[in-house]
Structure 1
C-alpha cells in the first residue's frame, strides 16, 4: 500500500472540496443516499479530515463537537482503497487529535454492515436499529460501554 497522509483540512479548501466530491461519489452515487441529505449545516463547523494517497483524496471523515461527545461522521473511502486499513487509520488520527484537545468521548452512527470496523476501534452499539439515507444504522459510542444495550 502506498503511503497514506492524514490531514485536517479547512472547509472549502481544495482538499475539503475533494473530500466532498468523494462523499458524493460514495454516498450519493454508490449508496443512493438522497443528495439533499448528504451535505448539511454541520459541514460548515465540523473538523474535516482527509487521507491522501498517490496525490488523491482517498478517504474522508468529519468530527462534530457536541456537548456530550465528539461525533464522527461521513466516513467515506474510495472504492479502490477499501479493505486496506485507510478508514481505521483516519479514524484513529482524528480521535487522537481530539483527545489531545481534551475530548474523551466519541459517538457515531454506523451502517449496520460496518459495525465490525468500529468495534475494533473500541465502539459498542446501542439502542434500536434505524434507517438513515435509506440504509440500516446503529448508534455507537466508546464510553459508558457497560450501559450500552441493543434494542431490536
Structure 2
C-alpha cells in the first residue's frame, strides 16, 4: 500500500475541496446523510487529512482540537478503495500528527456497525447509542478505557 500518500491539507485548498467532494459522495449519496448535516463550522478550523492514490483523493478525515481531547471525524474512503487499510493508515497518521503537537487523548463517534474497526485501533465505546445522520452511532475514546460504560 506504499502507493497511497497521506497528508494534512488546509481547509478549502484544492485537495481539501476534493476531500469535501469525497465526503459528499460517501456520506450524502451513498449513506444518505442529509446534506445539511454533512458540513459544519468545524470544517473551517479542523485539520483535514487526505489519502491520495492513483492520482486522486481516495480517503479523508478531519481532526478537531477540543480542550478535553482531539476528535477524529468524517472518516471516508472511496468505495473502490475500501479494504486496503487506507482508513487505518489515515487515522494512524492523523493521531501521530496530533501527538507531535502534544495531544494524546482521542475521541470519535463511530457508526455502530464500525465499532470493531475502531476497537482494533484501541478505542472503547461508552454511553448510549444515538442517531447521527440517520444512522446509529456510539461515542468512543482511547483514554480512560476502564471507566467507559455502555448504556443501553
Q: Same fold (TM over 0.5)?
A: yes
1:62 Cα deviation (Å)?
0.3
The residue correspondences of 1:39-58 to structure 2 (distance < 5 A) are 39-58=39-58
Aligned equivalents of 1:72 and 1:95: distance in 2?
9
Q: Which residue of 2 aligns with 1:127?
A: 127
Contiguous gaps of at least 5 residues in structure 2: none
Q: Provide, for residues 82-118 of structure 1, a one-character-per-residue CA deviation record: whole Å limited to 9, x for no partner.
A: 1110000000000001001100100000000001111
Question: 1:2 offset after TM fit, Å?
Answer: 6.1
How many residue pairs align between the two structures?
A: 152
| TM-score (ref. length: structure 2) | 0.98
CA displacement, residues 31-60 of structure 1 (integer Å, 9 cap, x when unaligned): 000000001100000000000001010000
Q: Which runs of 5+ in 1 are unaligned?
A: none
Whether contact under 8 Å (1:2, 1:53) holds in the other structure is no
> Which residue number corresponds to residue 74 of structure 2?
74
Q: What CA RMSD, in Å, does the superposition of the two structures yield over aligned residues?
A: 0.7
Show the 5 A alignment for 1:1-152.
1=1, 3-152=3-152
Q: What TM-score results when the alignment is normalised by the length of structure 1? A: 0.98
Contact 1:127–1:151 (8 Å) recurs in 2: yes
